Every structure is written in structure tokens, then in C-alpha cells.
Amino acid sequence: MTFWVSRILALNVIVFVLIPPGSLLYTLSTLFPPALVGLDSVYLPAVPFRPWTLVTYMFLHAGFSHMFFNMIGLFFFGPRLEHRLGGKRFLRFYLISGLGGAVFSFLFSPGAPVVGASAAVYGVLIGFAKYWPRENIYIWGILPVEARWLVCALVVISLYSGISGSGGGVAHFAHLGGLAIGYGLLYWQDWYKLKDQREFERKLYSDPGLNSDDLSERRWSSIDLSLIHELNRVEIEKLLTRIKNEGMHSLSREEKAFLNRFSAE
């Protein structure tokens, strides 16, 4: 168990015990903004008056099985993803995935109130499938399914159920929102994290020496091999021999950048 997964699990269980479905407090929580706990279902027309429900709805469940299966998903897939992302980034990812579920529910099913951690947990599942797509997940502990195919199946089921209106009150568009926003957030974060590396490669490969064959060959042939370590010297000699025998087109972009780096020293 990791820091934030254990705390999210505990909070969901505590809320379920204190405000069980069917109780008076649960009923009031879905109708009014109670000052005692501040919990509520999220409902589009009420959001301007109860904005906290965009977060608190993730901790209020409609029944034991609803809460149990959400927490099972978080328990199995959350810790590994939190290790990968780090605690603060995981918590932000979890909450934003849940918000994405609320937004999708507003867009495609605006008249329906939504409760539960499903959207946030679906975000955790798409995150797990993104980083470990071939990891086997055993359905009911028996049937192995790779994470990527399980997510694809969930997308198809949620999309079909949401459009057809089947599903017995399940917020399928909220599930889709958790999947879509979760994946989009991880993709953007990974893209932004590699921004400096991409900029370095752009500068490296945009060197004029990589675009002019005659100039490049003259520069590389003038490299003073006596000043270079033996391992690099052997590689340079091998590449220069290949240019002589097969031409410049035989080198990859990385090999040209390698030669260009030594010719600039």
C-alpha cells in the first residue's frame, strides 16, 4: 500500500460507514448542502451553489457493492501507479480523473446526479494500462486479460451502455470521462516532461553539418583521431569507412550526429 492510495481507501470506507446509503444523512447529503460534512452528489444545476460536490461526490457511494468494487480496483492498480507517478502527482491525477467523469456526465447526461469513485478509479486503470499494457489481469481470479484489452473492453461497454441508455442507472459517461481525461493528462505530462530532451535533439539534428553531405564528409575526415578515446576512435573509423564504401546515405541520423559532435570539438 502506498501513502495516498491507503488514505483514499480509508476515507471512502469511513464515509460509507458514517453515511450509509438509505440513511437520513445520506438522503440529506444528496438534497442539501449539509454544514456538518459537506458531502453531496454532483448535479449540474446545483454546481454553482455547491461547487465542492465536484470533489466530494467521489467519496459518496450508492451501495456496498458500488464502494467495494471501486476500492478493489484502487487497491490493485493504484499503488503501482502511485510508485510510478509519485505521491503528489498521483493524487492530482486521481482527482482530475474524477473531475473528468463529472464533466463528461454533465455533457452527455446533464440531468442525472452522479456519486462514486468510479471515474477516478477508471482513470487509475487507464494509467496502469498505459504504463503496463501487457500486464495480465485475472478476471475473477481465473481469466487472464492484458490490461490494454481490458481497457478497450471497458470503453466499448461504457460507450454502448451510455448511448443505448442501458445499465440500470450506472453513470457510463462518467466512466468514459475518467478514462479519457486520465489518459489525456498522463500523455500531456509525459510529453511535457520530455520537452527538454526533444529540444536538445532538435538542436543536435538541425546542425547544418547534417544537411550538407560534402561539408559533413570534409569535416568528419579532418577529425584528429589521436585525441579521441580508443572506443570512439574505432567507431569513427568504422563510420568513415562505410561512407567511403557506401556513401553518406548509409548512415543513420544518430550516426551523423555522433560524427558531427567529434568534428566540432
- Name residue 145's beta-bridge partners: 137
The pLDDT score that the predictor gives to residue 46 is 62
Q: Is the CATH number of domain 3-193 1.20.1540.10?
A: yes
Environment class of residue 33 by beta-carbon count within 10 Å: exposed (0-12), middle (13-18) or buried (19+)? middle
Model-level pTM? 0.69
Lowest mean pLDDT among 7-21, 47-61, 147-161, 193-207: 193-207
Q: Return the biggest CA–CA distance within the chain.
A: 85
* Residue type present at position 142: I
Cell of 98: 474524477
Distance CA 251, CA 257 (A): 10
Is 118 an annotated catalytic residue?
Answer: yes
| SS3 category, 110 | coil
**CA-angle at 59, arms to 115 and 188, nearest 5°:** 85
Stronger pLDDT, 106 or 74, i.e. the higher one: 74
Question: 75 CB contacts (<8 Å, ≥6 apart)?
Answer: 1, 5, 9
The pLDDT score that the predictor gives to residue 42 is 56
pLDDT at 27 over 70: no
Which of these is catalytic: 118, 158, 216, 263? Answer: 118
Cβ atoms of 97 and 81 within 8 Å: the answer is no
DSSP state of 237: H
Q: Count Cβ neighbours within 10 Å for each residue of 47-58 and write b for 16 or more, e otherwise.
A: eeebeebbebbb
Which of these is catalytic: 41, 61, 175, 216? Answer: 175
Q: What is the pLDDT of residues 79-125, one digit of tens each?
A: 999 999 999 999 999 999 999 988 888 888 776 677 889 899 999 99
Domain boundaries, the chain: 3-193, 197-263
Environment class of residue 222 by beta-carbon count within 10 Å: exposed (0-12), middle (13-18) or buried (19+)? exposed
pLDDT at 37 over 70: no
* Spatial CA neighbour of 177 closest among 133, 127, 128, 118: 118
Cβ atoms of 94 and 120 within 8 Å: the answer is yes
Q: How far is CA 257 from CA 119, 214, 238, 245, 262, in A?
A: 46, 15, 15, 19, 9
